[in-house]
Amino acid sequence: MKRRLVLKQLTAVSFLALSGWMPQALAADTIKVGILHSLSGTMAISETSLKDVALMTIEEINANGGVLGKKLEPVVVDPASNWPLFAEKARQLLAQDKVSVVFGAWTSVSRKSVLPVFKELNGLLFYPVQYEGEELEKNVFYTGAAPNQQAIPAVEYLMSEDGGGAKRFVLLGTDYVYPRTTNKILRAFLHSKGVKDSDIDEVYTPFGHSDYQTIVANIKKFSTGGRTAVISTINGDSNVPFYKELGNAGLKATDVPVVAFSVGEEELRGVDAKPLVGHLAAWNYFQSIKNPVNTAFIDKWKAYAKARNLPNASTVVTNDPMEATYIGIHMWKQAVEQAKTTDVDKVIDAMGGQTFTAPDGFTIQMDKTNHHLHKPVYIGEINADGQFDVVWKTKGPIRAQPWSPYIAGNENKQGL
């Protein structure tokens, strides 16, 4: 008799589940979130740590009660530095795994690959890396820098007396949309400052490129024509042989400074930093920034790496895209709690104006109209330990300009 009653109850529950209705007590007790980062291939050197810091942040949120009373359940996929595979994995996360949000992508070509999927399925993507701008999508929140929050200030610094007074510029990048579009903006900016095309050399290499001997030799030759600086948009593991070749060629920062937009503390873990002392990077965060929030962030990350036995856990570092990932996940949590739902459209409406006390030393705000963070800008010099000494910074966060004013036709495109 008892067995027959149990079977009837199970049958009733199964019917309710199949019909799409479940009592509250039986509803899903987790909220799935997707993590879409390359864990293999040329971009793994940069993206693996973003996956790990996302998992750390999710664990932190769960330890503090989760979101709307539910634990977050991460779903991790590896698009393997394969741009079409990014789209396939994004579709899997949204359509099959039914995640409420995705945190991921690094290169702009990977972001461009997944955009149609997020628009078609009305998914929500938080993108944590500096990029070229010229884009503003309803389904994306951009927690990395737009060009006016990184590239333009960096070049202004190089042209200043404090930055060395550069007159000639080598625009060196990986051959894809982010470096080419950023350099289009920078060339227009340099023209506005009176720099001629004959004083600009633009060079691209494929992903995974490893032989920089000829390129570095050409940079040395170009620099004989006047005070020269290199603006590097090299991405992925190609940064390691590039910086090694700078050291081999004896090209010091005092001769030709290099400012990088995609090299931070994580990438420098793989090279001897001593020959690179004085070369520059422009970001919105450095591990070396001194404030209590950053100290807690660094300590938390080091403890997590040790507890999870991450590779080289004793030498882990924090960097800008990791901080942007951390901010993005916490802001999404706040927006969900304000909206009282994970419904994408309602969360999007709640995101504008969210604030977060960030490791960069400021209370950061998500812009109310353009889906970008207001961010401070820092320029740092590489030191012998592979960290950065800040040599220039803005007084506070600046509003992003997704559509560069140096590109004709962008005058009325700043909001959604």
Q: Round the CA-based radius of gyration of the chain to a whole number and report it.
A: 23
Instruction: Point out the domain boundary residue: 283, 318, 342.
Output: 283
How is residue 116 written in tokens?
């149609």
Which domain CATH number covers 359? 3.40.50.2300
Asked whether residue 402 is domain-assigned, the answer is no
Helices (H) and strands (E) in the chain, counts: 12, 14
Are both 152 and 276 inside the same structural domain?
Answer: yes
Asked whether residue 26 is domain-assigned, the answer is no
Are both 242 and 322 inside the same structural domain?
Answer: no
Quick: pLDDT tens for 252-263.
999 999 999 999
Instruction: Point out the domain boundary residue: 238, 256, 283.
Output: 283
Are both 38 and 94 inside the same structural domain?
Answer: yes
Is pLDDT at 352 greater than 50 in this prediction?
Answer: yes
Position 156 scores a pLDDT of: 97
Stated as kind and residue range, the H or E segment containing 72 is: strand 71-77
Are both 193 and 264 inside the same structural domain?
Answer: yes
The length of the chain in residues reads: 416
Instruction: Point out the domain boundary residue: 233, 257, 283.
Output: 283
**Using 50, 70 and 90 to split pLDDT, how confident is the model at 415?**
low
Residue of 164, 178, 131, 89 lying closest to 401 (CA atoms): 131
Are both 161 and 274 inside the same structural domain?
Answer: yes
Are both 300 and 267 inside the same structural domain?
Answer: no
Asked whether residue 25 is domain-assigned, the answer is no
Q: What is the mean pLDDT of the chain?
A: 92
Position 46 scores a pLDDT of: 94
Quick: pLDDT tens for 313-325.
999 999 999 999 9
Residue 180 amino acid letter: R
Are both 140 and 154 inside the same structural domain?
Answer: no
Average pLDDT over residues 61-77: 98
Quick: pLDDT tens for 196-208.
999 999 999 999 9
Provide DSSP, 88-117. HHHHIIIIIS--SEEEE--SHHHHHHHHHH
Are both 241 and 305 inside the same structural domain?
Answer: no
Is pLDDT at 123 greater than 80 in this prediction?
Answer: yes
Contact in structure between 352 and 295 (CB atoms under 8 Å): no
The domain of 227 spans: 148-283
Are both 353 and 371 inside the same structural domain?
Answer: yes
Is pLDDT at 293 greater than 70 in this prediction?
Answer: yes
Are both 272 and 302 inside the same structural domain?
Answer: no
The count of C-alpha atoms lying within 13 angstroms of the C-alpha of 404, restricted to the half-sphere facing its C-beta, is 24
Quick: pLDDT tens for 379-411.
999 999 999 999 999 999 999 999 999 998 887
Position 325 scores a pLDDT of: 98
- Pick left, alpha or beta for residue 162 (phi over 0 → left; psi -120 to 50 → alpha; otherwise beta): alpha
Quick: pLDDT tens for 41-53.
999 999 999 999 9
Is pLDDT at 150 greater than 90 in this prediction?
Answer: yes
Are both 124 and 187 inside the same structural domain?
Answer: no
**Using 50, 70 and 90 to split pLDDT, how confident is the model at 16?**
very low
Position 412 scores a pLDDT of: 76
N-terminal to C-terminal alpha carbon distance within the chain = 63
Provide DSSP, 281-330. EEES--TT--SHHHHHHHHHHHHHHHHTT-TTGGG----HHHHHHHHHHH
Asked whether residue 228 is domain-assigned, the answer is yes
Position 272 scores a pLDDT of: 84
Count of other CB atoms within 10 angstroms of residue 277 = 15
Q: How many domains does the chain have?
A: 2
Percentage above 70 pLDDT, the chain: 93
Are both 199 and 270 inside the same structural domain?
Answer: yes
- Give me the sheet containing 140-142, strands edge to edge: 71-77, 30-36, 101-104, 125-127, 140-142
Parallel, antiparallel or unpaired: strands 125-127 and 101-104: parallel
Average pLDDT over residues 124-144: 97
Is pLDDT at 21 greater than 60 in this prediction?
Answer: no
Token pair 């930093």 is found at 273
Position 271 scores a pLDDT of: 79
Parallel, antiparallel or unpaired: strands 168-174 and 140-142: unpaired
Residue 273 amino acid letter: A
Percentage above 90 pLDDT, the chain: 86
Quick: pLDDT tens for 182-235.
999 999 999 999 999 999 999 999 999 999 999 999 999 999 999 999 999 999
Provide DSSP, 114-132. HHHHHHHHT--EEE-S---
Least confident range from 23-32, 91-100, 165-174, 297-306: namely 23-32
